[in-house]
Structure 1
Amino acid sequence: MAADMAADMAAPAVMLREVADSDLPVIFRHMSDPESNQVAAFTSKDPTDRAAFDAHWARIRASDAVIRTVLADGDIAGHAAVYGPPQEREVTYFIDRAYWGRGVATGALRALLELVPERPLFARAAADNTGSLRVLEKCGFTVTGHDRGFANARGTEIDELVLALTG
């Protein structure tokens, strides 16, 4: 029985691929999860607004952003992206709660960083989002500053950390 539990918790194989139209309903479901949004903090104004989600994704898919679907053992586990103007490009990722704590975000970010070798890259995370901060630090990002911003998911201004990957 202990071996079965260990197998269930083993780190899944993580891959990135181009975003397909058929991924969007799954990604929308991930990004609509209230608990995930509470942790992420900096979310859309209304994560349950499908029309706004579709419009946002149409814009980012038409931009120069590098955006990928994250697969864990072949299942859609989230998405990861690099976006923004040169010298200010940021990474972002959103992983389904079912995959938290299993190395999926770290694997996805490492794969994204291999795909996008330009540096520097930046990231931001709620100061209390220890899981995301741990992923960023494992991937070589270091804290370079502090900020405050309005977190839609929490309805208030919160502390945020700014991180950079320079090498």
Structure 2
Amino acid sequence: MSSNVILRDVSEDDLPIYFEQQLDKTANYMAAFTAKDPSDKVVFKAHWEKILNDERIIKKTIILNGEVAGQISSFEQFGEPEVSYWIGREFWGKGVATRALSQFLNVVNIRPLYARAAKDNIASIRVLEKCGFRICGEDKGFSNARSEEVEEFILKLPL
């Protein structure tokens, strides 16, 4: 397992890689709360244009050994600061998410900070818990990726 994970500012050149990563059906299933149609490039581009133009959103590209492994961001959702990440499936199981989140938490010093994960996304829950997040609640919502209502945990990184 390599520890050469770095975060850098998102570049427009990263977007085609993000787009390909989010087309993965298994990754969509695990993330649960995804775009209605991940293959819609117009919606994808509009979504990322909003993100890139919003200075309130902290967004970083995750690099592993020179390759774009995914992305991580912090934004306001439901009135609370939240963190979210997406790791390309080819990078799963290598500790990339844990190292990226750990580094990101040095950039984002807002506390408390929240995260959400589908209850069956054990790997993501473990990543969050390794970085100090604790389950503080539950919610549920419609999952486009699963075409059904999905239960999720709300996790909190305290002060």
TM range (shorter): over 0.9
Q: Residue 11 of structure 1 corresponds to which residue in structure 2?
A: 2
Q: CA RMSD in A?
A: 1.3
The answer to whether 1:118 aligns with 2:110 is yes
CA contact (8 A) 2:139 2:154 kept: yes
Greater than 2 Å deviation, 4+ residue runs: none
Percent identity for Structure 1 against Structure 2: 46
Letter in 1 for 2:104: L
TM-score, normalised to structure 2, is 0.96
Distance 2:16 2:141 in 1: 29
Q: Structure 2: any 5+ residue segments left out of the alignment? A: none
Q: Tell me what 1:7 maps to.
A: none
Task: Decide which structure has the larger Cα Rg and report it.
Answer: 1
Whole-angstrom CA distance in 1 between matches of 2:2 and 2:123: 16
Pairing partner for 1:41 from 32, 36, 42: 32
> Which structure features the higher share of strand residues?
2
Matched residue count? 158
- The question of 1:50 aligning with 2:41 is answered yes
Q: How does 1:1-167 map to 2 (within 5 A)?
A: 10-63=1-54, 64-84=56-76, 88-167=80-159
Q: Is the 8 A contact 2:81 2:110 kept in 1?
A: no
Q: Which runs of 5+ in 1 are unaligned?
A: 1-9
Shift in Å, 1:11 = 2.8
